[in-house]
């Protein structure tokens, strides 16, 4: 029996990348997993689909259901939760992983992109949490994990490094900073209810199939690359224990917990 046996998880942005990998690992730990993204099928320029994620969970003997939906649409957010609970039961673990990441100079950011970034990165996690929280409170247990980003940290300077000057992460970082503050605030409100709320950021570029396909990993800098299994291990630690109110970073969290990294099937690497 895995650490999440008998629990139901909902993971957004789960057709590829961190979301797909985490869904696979949650399933390997015994959770029934609802996965959602915009499409069940492949997009032409990126590998990975919701069908692939469901198949990965089922390979380990888990149960999964795919829900195609646009998180930018409030009606779709309500439908995701309704369909997930109808298929699998009340949600015990919510992982808000889906995000819109625009890396553009300030003057190139349109109003549309600004609104999309905050709708997906802040409003959608906020509303999904509102939808699942009453049930968690009634059962007096639950885990809400928001996947954030190191870009939420303040730029240090002057002098400013090259990324602060040219990285284009202003709006993305703003939205993730809001997500971090939401996480700690909600943790405080839920402290007496047995519900854990945390935020987790990778400390480096995560080596996912999508990132590899787009050639986004920094060449010649292995110190700036994080295996997806490491990110997932840190996320799992925040979806099964009693830590709450953390704005955590993957590698330091695992070091603090003295927790080894395992494969997506739950076996030692």
Which of 103, 112, 160, 172 is catalytic? The answer is 172
Residue whose pair of structure tokens reads 């906020």 in the numeric block: 126
Q: Show the CA angle centred on residue 25, arms to residues 95 and 75, nearest 5°.
A: 30
CA 205 to CA 203: how far, in whole Å? Answer: 7
Which own/partner pairs from 40-48 qualify as long-range (CB within 8 Å, at least 24 positions apart)?
40/66, 40/68, 45/213, 45/214, 46/16, 46/209, 46/210, 46/213, 46/214, 47/16, 47/209, 47/210, 47/213, 48/15, 48/16, 48/17, 48/20, 48/209, 48/210
| Bridge partners of residue 195, in order along the sequence | 142
8 Å CB contact between 18 and 228: yes
| Bridge partners of residue 21, in order along the sequence | none
Tokens of 237: 């630690």
Length, in residues, of the chain: 269
8 Å CB contact between 205 and 183: no
Give DSSP secondary structure letters for 123-146.
IHHHHHHHHHHHHHHHHT-EEEEE
Asked if 176 is an active-site residue, the reply is yes
CA 72 to chain centroid = 16
Asked if 112 is an active-site residue, the reply is no
CA 251 to CA 233: how far, in whole Å? Answer: 9
Which of 103, 112, 160, 176 is catalytic? The answer is 176
Catalytic annotation, residues: 172, 176
């Amino acid at each position: 029996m895995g650490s999440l046996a008998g629990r139901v998880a909902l993971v957004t942005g789960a057709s590829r990348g961190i979301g797909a990998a985490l869904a696979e690992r949650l399933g390997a730990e015994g959770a029934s997993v609802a996965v959602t993204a915009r499409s069940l099928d492949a997009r032409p320029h990126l590998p990975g689909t919701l069908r692939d994620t469901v198949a990965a969970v089922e390979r380990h003997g888990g149960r999964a259901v795919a829900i195609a939906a646009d998180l930018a649409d409030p009606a779709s957010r309500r439908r995701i939760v309704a369909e997930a609970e109808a298929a699998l039961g009340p949600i015990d673990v919510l992982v808000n992983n889906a995000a819109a990441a625009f890396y553009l100079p300030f003057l190139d950011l349109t109003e549309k992109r600004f609104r999309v970034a905050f709708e997906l990165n802040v409003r959608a996690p906020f509303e999904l949490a509102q939808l699942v929280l009453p049930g968690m409170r009634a059962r007096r247990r639950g885990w809400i994990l928001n996947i954030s980003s190191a870009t939420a940290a303040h730029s240090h300077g002057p002098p400013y490094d090259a990324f602060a000057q040219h990285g284009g992460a202003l709006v993305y970082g703003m939205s993730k900073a809001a997500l971090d503050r939401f996480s700690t605030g909600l943790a405080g409100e839920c402290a007496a209810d047995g519900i854990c709320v945390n935020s987790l950021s990778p400390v480096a570029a995560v080596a996912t199939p999508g990132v590899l396909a787009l050639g986004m990993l920094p060449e010649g800098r292995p110190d700036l690359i994080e295996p997806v299994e490491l990110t997932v291990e840190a996320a799992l630690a925040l979806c099964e224990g009693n830590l709450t109110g953390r704005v955590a970073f993957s590698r330091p969290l695992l070091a603090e917990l003295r927790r080894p990294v395992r494969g997506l099937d739950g076996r030692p690497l």
